[in-house]
A = this chain, B = another copy of it.
Amino acid sequence: MKLRLGLPKGSLQEATFQLFRQAGFKITVGSRSYFPAVNDPELDILLMRAQEIPRYVNEGVLDAGISGLDWIRENNADVVEVADMVYSKSTSNPIRLVIAVAEDSDIKDVSDLNGKRVATELVNVTERYLRDHGVEAMVEYSWGATEVKVPHLVDAIADITETGSSLVANKLRIIATVLESSTKLHANRDAWEVPWKREKLESLSVLLQGALRARSRFGLKMNVPEDVLSTVLGILPAMKQPTISKLVECDWVAIEIILDEIQARNLIPALKSAGAQDIILYPLSMVIP
């Protein structure tokens, strides 16, 4: 009983392995580099290009995989989206597939693309989008360096961007957003109907999302004199009950709470002012609410 799971090779590989590692799965890539070992006898991991994973999940060659929504759509893959997994972005902007033209181009919106040539790595998604907008354009597959093709080789491109800065640097102007994308744990529809596979995938999803949640949180402990306990509790964020335990040695309580790293910045000075002592923060591996 093994779940066949496709993980992305290349730029996402190390980040993916680290996320799994944090959730307790040790993946090691040995001499047969596309079939890594993992310390879970129920998992059979294949490394492959992110672009191809949804295709093989769709066809049932894989039970599940991790790849972007963009490639799920490009492959016309009819799969179950088990979980959204945001672990490879550098900003809080969404990842988007946008259509861009030269800054000084006459093309102002999508309708101006009629009869034009568009280069993209996501031919199917782009063609469908243009067709839906009543535009007939020549969409051609680009093997890379898509952003420098305008205006010498093509009139427009459809390219993935997070900050838009690479588009700006190449003097391109965005005229439309084709798709917002994100990384998905996704499963084959038949595999999803097999109870132990679904259970395994749901467990994986809980652990991986627990690991992601832990990345922006700290555990916090502090000792608080009983007479200022209510003050301290008033300061703490309302969302969660803190764990309070009475200490043996007198009129102090120990308080534990899980804190978002952003909250920590303002809270810690406030707690100290209120009389808390011995404040420590410790890193977390998983947080499951």
Contacts and interface: CB of A to CB of B under 8 A. Distances in A.
B264 A207 contact: yes
A218 interface: yes
Main secondary structure on A side of the interface with B: mixed
Given A55-B140, A165-B32, A269-B203, A49 B248 contact: no
Copy count, this protein chain: 6
B243 A254 contact: yes
A134 interface: no
B283 A288 contact: no
A235 interface: no
Contacts of A277: 289
A269 B90 contact: no
Nearest to A142: B52
Interface in A17-36: 24-25, 28, 30-32, 34
A37 B91 contact: yes
A249 B241 contact: yes
B272 A280 contact: no
Given A245-B245, A283-B284, 6 more contacts: A30-B90, A37-B91, A52-B143, A203-B265, A206-B272, A254-B256
Interface stretch (A76-84, A95-103, A145-153, A175-183): A145-153
What is the interface residue range for chain A against chain B?
35 or more
Contacts of A254: 243, 245, 256
Interface in A167-213: 169, 199, 202-203, 206-207, 210
A278 interface: yes
A158 B34 CA distance: 19
Nearest to A168: B31
B248 A244 contact: yes
Interface string A42-69: 0000101101100110000100000000
A37 B90 contact: yes
Contact of A51 (B55, B143, B248, B278): B143
Contact of A268 (B34, B166, B206, B240): B206
